[in-house]
Structure 1
Amino acid sequence: MWPVPRGYAWTVFALSFGLLLSDYMSRQVLNAVFPMLKSEWLLSDAALGSLSSIVALAVGVLTFPMSLMADRWGRVRCLLFAATLWSIATVGCAMSADYGQMFVARLFVGIGEAAYGSVGIAVVLSIFPVALRATLSGTFIAGGAFGAVLGVSIGGAVAQAAGWRWAFAVMGIFGLVLAAVYGVVVKERRLVRVADSAEDPSDAAGASAAGSRDAPPAPANVPLRAHLPRLFSSVSVISAYVGSGLQLFVAATLLSWLPSYFNRYYHLTTAQSGSAAGGYALIIGVGMILGGVVSDRISAGVSIRKWAVAVGCSLGSLVLLTVAFQLPDGPVQLGALAFGALLSAGSAGPAAAMVANLTPASVAATAFGTLTLANSLLGLAPGPALTGVLADHVGLLGALRVVPLVAIAATAAFLVGRHWYERDLLRVGGLAAPAAESEPPAERPS
């Protein structure tokens, strides 16, 4: 059942997805101009990696408090502030005179982006039917990869034609225009009505929209702080946070360093490297969507199967990427790299769905903020930075050969979550779920 008119829901999704594209275009355009900055400012790989990681670090540190603020004071207001800030900061990157000024501007890009991913997905999930949860989560998160495609592809082309400063300027101006359109079309009062109906247990449509049939119910008139401990109330939800973050270490490294990899080892120009890396970023995004779609399909009768999708993606990326970076340059390597990239972030949708299932609907943005915190601190921030540090010692190819091993830890976390999932659902309120969303009675743990 749709809690708002279907056309309005898809309009909000399109604009929210567009802002997410802008978010990652502003974040990832830097990677397209790595070779230019390295040459002009004589930067090490570690310094280049820090310019990328400072954004993810700021997102990780600030996403939780900003998501909490959004739950209390208005998600649309928070989104508009975030988009405006990261866009202005991206224009500031274009005006940077040295590494220090660029670092400060990138820090403000991260501050602006801190609330967007978690709050944006909470807005989207609040106005769509529950059955689309993993698919929408995977698709929305995949916007990051699609934004990376546009950021490195368009950024590389603009940089080669007009210089790296214009690459940043174009991304910032695009974000400002899109934020203005979002502010005109998306209204807080309509989202508030949806949230209010979700808090009313007598409103079946609202409950269906804002929560999962697996999720513990969110009683009306309960203070927000009473729900916050439930963000970490089970082994399985913590495992989803950890597994998602560790697996994104691999995907973030690919998104950040593939432009430089193609430039150094395949001897492509800045524009060609950006286009090639953009193609792989697109593959990563497709993998996110497919992970969510497959997760929803195979778990229609047994929700625990979502964990199997996450485990399969982690193990698959481990094997394929390890093989790819051992192969010599050429078509076979590029093919193995493509399949590894496809699986490298396929766990994002299932992990987000599990977080939604195991936390109250009333703190949806904060729950996704916690997931974003884990994604940033465990994956998006350390991935590019540590790879850059390692590349300064063993070369970029040597560093990329080590990165896939992180998927071993991600797989372990997902397996632990799967083991505890059903008993955690029972403990935190999952018994309210209908039979269609759980194991057959004979298979449930006693």
Structure 2
Amino acid sequence: MLIQHAGPTTGEVSVAQTGVRAYAWVVFALTVGLLLSDYMSRQVLNAVFPPLKAAWHLSDAQLGSLSSVVALMVGVLTFPLSVLADRWGRVKSIVLMAAMWSLATVGCAVSTSYGQLLLARAFVGIGEAAYGSVGIAVVLSIFPVRLRATLTGTFMAGGAFGSVLGMALGGAVAAHLGWRSAFGAMAAMGIVLVAIYRLVVTEKRLVPLQPASVTRQAQSRGVCMSLRALMQGLFSTKSVVCAYVGSGLHLLVPAAVWAWLPSFLNRYYGMATGKAAMCAAVFVLVTGVGMVVCGNLADRLSKNARERKWVAAIAFCLACFVLLAIGFQMPAGPWQLVVIGAGMFFCAGASGPSGAMVANLTPPTIHASAFATLTLANNLLGLAPAAVLTGIVADRIGLLGALQLVPFAPLVAAAAFMIGKRNYSGDLDRLNALRERAAG
């Protein structure tokens, strides 16, 4: 069985043409813009949990399933669809995916039952499935290697900022026009962004931004390899497996808290739907800022010591655990929200270091598939189960009790990162030696 990839996703941007470098930032902005639309369509649901629960008399487990089904589809389909994107063309695939999740969001707006809404949400997930891996592959292919953690953290933070917009705007629209209009507004924004991306970004215009070696490889052989060779590249070391696992587990926290914080504020602070959504959006914004800052900090710390990316990831996970474990035990009030907010700053901080470590530990020719594997781990270990498991536990011990258990996930993630750190230097030296022999 042959698997085809479109080429490496790393390299130095050409410095000979300043216009090319400027276009790289345009591509980055538009790609992140579509990621915003992705998460706006995904997270608008959380803002309308209270009116949806009242209108259809849904349980917390059912509400959680409407959120988790998206991440489940992303987790199951991200790898095969990423491989197809490499074969068919990344830009064309991005346009198709964005169009699909936008139209599926229209389907959410016109659903008349829980079953129909669950199906529409599943198609939102199908459309979004490979966007994270394909989008970051496009971005990393046109920027310097030294910016990997910063770019990865910033790109993934687009999910947080999109969630902010989805929850805040969705809650405001729902408060004035109803929950169906909230879905419709997110769909309209997505369709507009798809049209702009289609007009501005093309495969041909990306080629000058990539290293000459990438272009030659793509043109000469299409970078074909067997499935066995691909698997060996993706899971060649203990440390890269630890990076996958740690990244996935630590993202259970933002997924659970983002999904249930509007309901938490509605039930325990007596906030109306619109106000609860706006307040929850602030916490999501804090998460996004934390992802950018933590990614940049990891790059700065690891300039002269490559193991420090792992140390940074461990520190971010432990900080999240301590702050949220304390925060959700505190009585309701301003200080509880401050401590929870501090925990949310670190809750996805390991995303940038994890992405950089995966890129460092896998061959450049399979980075799209490597990021698809990372996306698979993120969704199956963290994003997909978070909302529904929290909902199931909440039906039994209450929402507050369920949220008090969530902070233990980054503690387990920190343990995975510790194991990865112990093996990282040896694994990286061995991989570099293999690449030098292959090049020679």
How far the C-alpha of 1:192 sits from its partner, in A, is: 4.5
Structure 2 equivalent of residue 275 of structure 1: 278
Deviations 1:365-403 (A, max 9, x none): 111110000000000000111000000000000000011
Structure 1 gaps of 5+ residues are 207-218, 434-446
Matches within 5 A, 1:188-203: 188-192=203-207, 197-199=212-214
Structure 2 equivalent of residue 251 of structure 1: 254
Q: Distance in 1 between matches of 2:187 and 2:321?
A: 35
Q: Distance in 2 between matches of 1:321 and 1:291?
A: 17
Structure 2 equivalent of residue 87 of structure 1: 102
Q: Distance in 2 between matches of 1:48 and 1:367?
A: 32
How far the C-alpha of 1:190 sits from its partner, in A, is: 2.8
Deviations 1:4-38 (A, max 9, x none): 71110000001001000000000000000000110
How far the C-alpha of 1:197 sits from its partner, in A, is: 2.6
3-state SS of the aligned residue for 1:407? helix
Structure 2 equivalent of residue 440 of structure 1: none
* Kept in 2: contact 1:66–1:114 (CA 8 A): yes
3-state SS of the aligned residue for 2:349? coil
Residue 55 of structure 2, aligned match among 26, 34, 40? 40
How far the C-alpha of 1:84 sits from its partner, in A, is: 0.1
Structure 1 equivalent of residue 289 of structure 2: 286
3-state SS of the aligned residue for 1:224? strand
Q: Distance in 2 between matches of 1:267 and 1:337?
A: 18
* Kept in 1: contact 2:223–2:365 (CA 8 A): no
Q: Distance in 1 between matches of 2:205 and 2:180?
A: 39
2:300 maps to 1:297? yes
2:402 maps to 1:391? no
TM-aligned CA distance change 1:200 to 1:343, over 3 Å? same
2:288 maps to 1:261? no
Q: Distance in 2 between matches of 1:57 and 1:38?
A: 22
Residue 118 of structure 1, aligned match among 116, 120, 133? 133
Output the amino acid matched with 1:380: L
2:2 maps to 1:2? no
Greater alpha carbon shift after TM alignment, 251-260 vs 424-433: 424-433
How far the C-alpha of 1:281 sits from its partner, in A, is: 0.2
2:344 maps to 1:329? no
* Kept in 1: contact 2:36–2:159 (CA 8 A): yes
Q: Distance in 2 between matches of 1:363 and 1:432?
A: 14
Output the amino acid matched with 2:232: P
Structure 2 gaps of 5+ residues are 1-11
Q: Distance in 1 between matches of 2:272 and 2:225?
A: 52
Q: Distance in 2 between matches of 1:83 and 1:430?
A: 40
Q: Distance in 1 between matches of 2:113 and 2:380?
A: 26
Structure 2 equivalent of residue 338 of structure 1: 341
2:316 maps to 1:313? yes
TM-aligned CA distance change 1:249 to 1:302, over 3 Å? same
How far the C-alpha of 1:224 sits from its partner, in A, is: 3.5
Structure 2 equivalent of residue 51 of structure 1: 66
2:110 maps to 1:107? no
Output the amino acid matched with 1:7: A
* Kept in 2: contact 1:86–1:112 (CA 8 A): yes
* Kept in 1: contact 2:73–2:129 (CA 8 A): yes
Identity across matched positions, percent: 56
Output the amino acid matched with 2:250: Q
How far the C-alpha of 1:59 sits from its partner, in A, is: 0.2
Normalised to the residue count of structure 2, the TM-score between the two structures is 0.92
Structure 2 equivalent of residue 439 of structure 1: none
2:167 maps to 1:167? no
Structure 2 equivalent of residue 181 of structure 1: 196
How far the C-alpha of 1:304 sits from its partner, in A, is: 1.2
Residue 159 of structure 2, aligned match among 144, 148, 161? 144
* Kept in 2: contact 1:425–1:431 (CA 8 A): no
3-state SS of the aligned residue for 2:270? coil
Structure 2 equivalent of residue 423 of structure 1: 426
Residue 237 of structure 1, aligned match among 236, 240, 244? 240
Output the amino acid matched with 1:148: S
Structure 1 equivalent of residue 417 of structure 2: 414
2:358 maps to 1:355? yes
Output the amino acid matched with 1:407: P
Greater alpha carbon shift after TM alignment, 121-130 vs 357-366: 357-366
3-state SS of the aligned residue for 2:304? coil
How far the C-alpha of 1:428 sits from its partner, in A, is: 1.9
Normalised to the residue count of structure 1, the TM-score between the two structures is 0.91
Q: Distance in 2 between matches of 1:300 and 1:432?
A: 22
Q: Distance in 1 between matches of 2:368 and 2:414?
A: 26
Cα root mean square deviation, aligned: 1.8
Deviations 1:71-121 (A, max 9, x none): 222100110010000000001100000100000000000000001111001
3-state SS of the aligned residue for 2:341? helix
2:171 maps to 1:156? yes
* Kept in 1: contact 2:47–2:168 (CA 8 A): yes
Greater alpha carbon shift after TM alignment, 185-194 vs 29-38: 185-194
Q: Distance in 1 between matches of 2:215 and 2:375?
A: 28
Output the amino acid matched with 1:231: L
2:408 maps to 1:405? yes
